Amino acid sequence: MIERFAAFPGLTEVALQDRLAVFDRVKAALVGDLCLDAYWKADMTQSELSRETPHFPLPIVSETYAPGAGGNVAANLAALKPHSVRIAGVIGQDWRGDVLTRELDTRGIDTSAVIRHPDRVTNAYIKPFRRGLSAVEYEDPRLDFTNREAQSPELDEKVVAAINKLAVSADVLCVSDQFVNGCITDAVRKRLIVLANEGLKVIVDSRYRIGLFQGCLLKPNELECALAAGVPDPHRIRSLGELADMARSFSDMAGSSVCLTLGERGCLLAEAGRAQVMHIPAVDVSPPLDICGAGDTFLSAFACGLGSGANPAEAAFLANRAAAVTIKKINQTGTATRDEIRAVPAAGSGGGFRA
């Protein structure tokens, strides 16, 4: 009788070094929802009561910006120093699009296939923080810029053309489908499925539609997988055995290989056509932790691993180590370099993060 899941033994340090060394050859690409993360810091000691309204304004004294959503995956790819990182997506002709393009360009990311359109909004998460006389910092409610309507068929055609341009030379293509009205529409998804069936390594991270990318390699977290698989009580905490069954069932249902990320429990790999599920343990990481962006880091390292010729279990092993780096970077959307991944101790159970 075949056990429903088995533990991946890991990579030796020599094998790890060899795998990371060939990242130099990887031509990585990404298509998906690009976003700007903004951090605005206000010093309330400089605020004066408005003469027109009974409010104290927030005097912004510093502002920092970083790529978010699919842009953060691209930034994580760039931090791994592959041969190239090329991206496609749709942003607006607004100030947020200007800043986002600049932030991507400064990281060495090729944005020539990014489409700017006056009818679209550049997605952005604006995070205001205020500080007064003490060192206590307070975060105000986030300000979100998002598209409220689906993109047009005309833009669908342009996104498909951009994907075709990237696919010609890409070793691996990441898909970041994060927004309800993002650029990965039905028409775009159909093209991605065709490319995957033609042999391109297409890895999908989708918040709402992970089950619709048949034939692509799917990277859901536990909740996304449970919802897509239609299991009862998707929020219930499940044993590793139950999760392995769910990953296997979802893989069969979607006709795709599935890498189910489980945070502190690592990930489960259910490959299409293979009965046994592989468990790749996480890395022991002690608090304090910041899990923001851990899934993006996992996706980037997983993609570079696959693009460099690693098998899916080896790529997931590298991805767990990369995520263990970024969750230790507090109050920032961090990235992991190859040197930082090399310095991570051997994998094991525990870790306390959700990728």
CATH number, residue 267:
3.40.1190.20
* Count of domains forming the chain: 1
Assess if residue 318 is contained within a domain: yes
| Predicted confidence (pLDDT) per residue in 298-336, tens digit | 999 999 999 999 999 999 999 999 999 999 887 777 899
Assess if residue 145 is contained within a domain: no
Place of tokens 């400089």: 46
Per-residue 3-state assignment (H helix, E strand, C coil) for 29-48: EEEECEEEEEEEEEEHHHCC
What pLDDT score was predicted for residue 352?
33
What pLDDT score was predicted for residue 3?
63
Assess if residue 104 is contained within a domain: yes
Assess if residue 180 is contained within a domain: yes
Assess if residue 142 is contained within a domain: no
| Predicted confidence (pLDDT) per residue in 71-95, tens digit | 999 999 999 999 999 999 999 999 9
What pLDDT score was predicted for residue 1?
33
What pLDDT score was predicted for residue 275?
85
Phi, psi dihedrals of residue 150, rounded to the nearest 5°: -70, 150
Assess if residue 198 is contained within a domain: yes
Domain that holds residue 297: 5-36+69-128+154-342
Assess if residue 353 is contained within a domain: no
Provide long-range contacts, Cβ within 8 A and 24+ apart, for 319-323.
319/267, 320/266, 320/267, 320/280, 320/281, 320/282, 320/283, 320/347, 321/283, 321/347, 322/76, 322/80, 322/297, 322/298, 323/282, 323/283, 323/294, 323/295, 323/297, 323/298, 323/353, 323/355
Assess if residue 349 is contained within a domain: no
What pLDDT score was predicted for residue 274?
86
What pLDDT score was predicted for residue 56?
95
- Identify the DSSP state of 135: S
- Stretches in the chain below the pLDDT threshold 50: 1-2, 347-355
Is pTM beyond 0.85? Reply is yes
